[in-house]
Amino acid sequence: MARRSKIKDLPQDVLDDLNARLIGGGFSGYDDLAGWLKGRGFDISKSAVHRHGSALEAEFEEAMADARRTRALARAARESSDDADDSLLAAASGIMQDNLLRVSMDVKRMDDDPATKAKTLSQIARAFSDVGRLDIARQKWQEELRVKASEVAEKAARLATKGGLSDEGVAEIRRSILGIAS
């Protein structure tokens, strides 16, 4: 089993400062950062700082990619649907499931206490379940809306026909009503 990184033993405020310096410096200057840590009383090699910086950079890039994907999905959902709220809910549900999956994979790779890991995975499973229930409720609501719109369209078509409206007019009313629920 690999040795635990000395970076993980840094106090949180020092680790936060190191991370800020890594991000601010474009994930470079590892010699200087190792020297800065040494000046603060921590004997951590340039290689250890580099490994931590590489992992942090990958995490940072993944988070930025997630943010870009989320914005693109939300924009596409707004532009492609008459029912923007439903499209945004569906997109948000997918994004949440994707993020929960990533987090659960990260938790499995952690070196933490097995009890802590189990508790965290349990919380993630609960969140998956909540997202699933939200998605099912959204789909059920959509189906109920379609059924009600269909009933209203049929009733409106009967009344319009009875009132002497042309077949074209009746078809237009039906399309308008059903377009709301599609």
| Predicted pLDDT of residue 18 | 93
Do 56 and 22 contact (CB within 8 A), yes or no? yes
pLDDT tens, per residue, the chain with 182 residues? 567 888 988 999 999 999 999 988 999 999 999 999 999 999 999 999 999 999 989 888 887 887 787 777 767 766 665 555 666 677 777 777 777 777 777 777 766 677 777 777 788 788 878 878 888 888 898 889 889 988 988 898 888 888 888 888 888 888 888 876 55
| Predicted pLDDT of residue 66 | 75
Tokens of 154: 């049929």
pLDDT tens, residue by residue, 81-119 = 555 566 667 777 777 777 777 777 777 776 667 777 777
Does this model's pTM top 0.75? My answer is no
Task: Return the domain boundaries, the chain.
Answer: 1-80, 84-182
Q: Quick one: which of 87, 51, 50 has its CA closest to 72?
A: 87
**Separation in Å, CA 123 to CA 23, 91, 128:** 30, 22, 9
Return the amino acid letter for 69: R
If one counts every other C-beta atom within 10 angstroms of the C-beta of residue 30, the result is 20
| Predicted pLDDT of residue 41 | 95
Task: Output the DSSP codes for 66-87.
Answer: HHHHHHHHHHHHHHH-S-HHHH
